[in-house]
Amino acid sequence: MTGEREVVAAALIRDGRLLLAQRTRPPELAGLWELPGGKVEPGETPAAAVRRELREELGVEVTAGERIGADVPLHDGLVLRAYRAELVDGTPQALEHAALRWVDARELGEIALVDNDRGWVPELVALLGA
């Protein structure tokens, strides 16, 4: 795992719905939907990164839970990992995205997700059905 930099994605689920954020950049991804998140900073744990990124991107406080699905290799030696997140305080706001949307399992299968997040759909659907 040495040299590997992690990018976290948060699966924030409330009342059987998953929060997705609509990208504004880069141009080739603008308009697509994703799990919110971002890069883990040096010396930061993945759980701390989930908390910080959702505070910065959505203005909410969350706790980070278990990993979801498989690793997604990214460019430049980065690896994307998804984590379950629980809302502790606040109402999510699109501070760095075009829009936010709560989707159920059916909608998740139909929405235009970024390619990197598509592989987690079966696990996310299972969580939404749980």
Q: Mean pLDDT per 10-residue run, the chain (130 residues)?
A: 80 96 95 98 97 98 97 94 97 97 96 96 91
Cα–Cα distance measured from residue 11 to residue 85, given in angstroms and rounded to the nearest whole number: 6
Contacts for 21 with CB less than 8 Å, ≥ 6 apart: 33, 34, 35, 36, 57, 58, 94, 96, 97, 99, 100
pLDDT value for 130:
56
* Residue ranges per structural domain of the chain: 5-129
Q: What angle do CA 64, 70, 75 make, to 5 degrees?
A: 95
Q: What confidence score (pLDDT) does residue 4 get? A: 72
The DSSP 8-state label assigned to residue 111 in this structure reads S
The DSSP output letter for 102 is E
Give pTM, 2 decimals: 0.93
pLDDT of residue 1: 44
DSSP per-residue string spanning 7-75: EEEEEEEETTEEEEEE---STTTTT-EE--EEEPPTT--HHHHHHHHHHHHHS-EEEEEEEEEEEEE-G
Please give the CATH number for the structural domain made up of 5-129. Answer: 3.90.79.10
